[in-house]
Structure 1
Amino acid sequence: MDNGDGLSDPPDKNTFEPDKTIDSVMTMTKIREYKWVLYGTVSILVILGVSLIYSIVADISTQLHTPVTLATPVDLAIPLIPPAIIIYWYVFYSFIFFSYFYFAFVHREYRNALVLAYVLVNLVAYAIYLVFPVLGPERAVSGSDFFSYQIQLLYAGDVPVNCFPSLHGSTSLLSAYALWRAKKEYGYISWPIAVAVMVSTLLVRQHWIVDQIAATLVTLPIAYFVFTRFKYTKVLESKTVVKRWQLLVSTIAAVFFMVLYILVFYVM
């Protein structure tokens, strides 16, 4: 605007510039989208990285100490039931991969708590393995049916030491607890799955009963502390609204990675 002396007034700093404002909002939105994808991906990589340490710990522990057995009369009376491999392998890996993807990309409020609890549980288990390696049940399977063949693949690809505590049990309990914390209704499914997985470890002759007791005593206190007491990860009230398509995508991703994991680590 001309102020009468031939000069224009300087632009008002408060002048609204809609184009720049919209661009700024869109840029910030894109940054947030990229950040949660990045954080979710990193969280899954951390969990998988910690899991891969297991084989290293197994090799070291057997060199440091002679593995012992924790069999009880009840354990010795439990028969090998090959169909239990469906729960031990396929249900278990689908379940934990679902929880990883669900909390990494959908219910992100609990993502950091799940990752921290997972790392702590595994570190405690690894420490126990290094000083107290436990040998699993005697393993023998005969038969050419589908279930027996799956058991043979399991035995060929898995080290029968470092059974106490059971990481199958610990991981299942942690996933069940996290899902229950996120939404109480999820507990109606997650807790029975965790228990079924723990029982399946006995039926495929991979663990002793005391291994599952130890898994419970290690996992639940850590999960409770991280999810409800540790100030950096606790969530007092979840505000996430989960859509059905998000559950479907998490389920599809879980099944895909379950198949991939078994193929890479047991079949190939």
Structure 2
Amino acid sequence: MKLIKPCLMRLAYLLLGWLSVGVFYRSAGELQGEPTLLTPSIIDQSIAFTPHAIWFYLSFFLIIPICFLVAPYHRLLWMSICFILSGFLAGICYLIFPTSMDFPVDTGTSISSWLLAKLIDIDVPVNCFPSLHITLTLLAIWGSLDKCHPQRNILLVLWGIAIAFSIIQLRRHLFVDFLGGIALALMVGYGVRYGSSYLIKQNLEQ
């Protein structure tokens, strides 16, 4: 029982944060107006499209629960709140400034191409800027970093870099979306951290 309760709480924090993001993401995709078509930068043009990037792209759905599983327990609330706030702020951004891009047509016959086609069927062709793929990956890895596990930290960081690279390789996002995702993660991460510290300090002083 002592092990079951913490595991259930980890699952609860994960579901609360991640499902909230899904609600905001899907709602914004349905409610927004005509999107602005983003223009690829020199960096985007220098990175070749490949459907094989789908494997790292989809590994996003694996790294998030892993990070919630291994993160220090006291950071879980911070992670969950950051997810919720990130989804809300990104949703507002999608509604105010809806964006899309020219998605390449893949005519390959590999398993990677088949997976990409399935992803395109269920994904929305909007909500590009900022990239929640990047925001949530960064926040999850940030929350899971532990000085007692340096090798795990390196592995997660390298995994996160591979995911970040894959969103451009797969042409699901552009470099500007990547930058927007990082900016949102840093703003929310530090905002929640210092905001909660301020509230705790205020309560102690009263």
Q: Would you say same fold, with TM above 0.5?
A: yes
Higher RCO (Cα < 8 Å, 6 or more apart):
2
Q: 2:123 aligned to 151, 154, 158, which one?
A: 158
Distance apart, 1:224 and its partner CA: 3.0
- Post-superposition CA distance 1:208-250 (Å, at most 9, x none): 100000111110232234346622899xxxxxxxxxxxxxxxx
Distance apart, 1:178 and its partner CA: 1.0
**For the residues of structure 1 that align with 2:47 and 2:95, how far apart are their CA atoms?**
28
**For the residues of structure 1 that align with 2:199 and 2:107, how far apart are their CA atoms?**
48
Relative to structure 1, the CA distance from residue 192 to residue 224 in structure 2 (aligned partners, 3 Å threshold; closer, same or farther) is farther
Name the % identity.
22
The answer to whether the Cα contact below 8 Å between 1:57 and 1:129 also exists between their aligned partners in 2 is yes
Which residue number corresponds to residue 224 of structure 1? 190
- Post-superposition CA distance 1:96-124 (Å, at most 9, x none): 11112334xxx321111111111112211
Q: 1:98 aligned to 60, 66, 70, which one?
A: 66
Q: 2:179 aligned to 205, 213, 224, which one?
A: 213
Q: How does 1:60-139 map to 2 (within 5 A)?
A: 60-61=31-32, 64-89=33-58, 91-103=59-71, 107-139=72-104
Task: Answer yes or no: is 1:192 the counterpart of 2:163.
Answer: no
Aligned pairs, number: 198
Equivalent AA in structure 1 for residue 175 of structure 2: I
Equivalent AA in structure 1 for residue 94 of structure 2: Y
- Post-superposition CA distance 1:184-209 (Å, at most 9, x none): 61431222222211110001110010
In the alignment, structure 2 segments of 5+ residues that lack a partner are 201-206
Relative to structure 1, the CA distance from residue 108 to residue 74 in structure 2 (aligned partners, 3 Å threshold; closer, same or farther) is closer
Distance apart, 1:59 and its partner CA: 0.9
Distance apart, 1:56 and its partner CA: 1.6
In the alignment, structure 1 segments of 5+ residues that lack a partner are 1-29, 235-268
Equivalent AA in structure 2 for residue 189 of structure 1: L
The answer to whether the Cα contact below 8 Å between 2:21 and 2:88 also exists between their aligned partners in 1 is no
Which residue number corresponds to residue 13 of structure 2? 43
Equivalent AA in structure 1 for residue 174 of structure 2: W
State the structure with more CA Rg: 1
Equivalent AA in structure 2 for residue 166 of structure 1: S
**For the residues of structure 2 that align with 1:184 and 1:221, how far apart are their CA atoms?**
26
Q: 1:55 aligned to 16, 22, 26, which one?
A: 26
Distance apart, 1:160 and its partner CA: 1.6
Question: How large is the Cα RMSD of the aligned pairs?
Answer: 2.5
Distance apart, 1:74 and its partner CA: 3.4
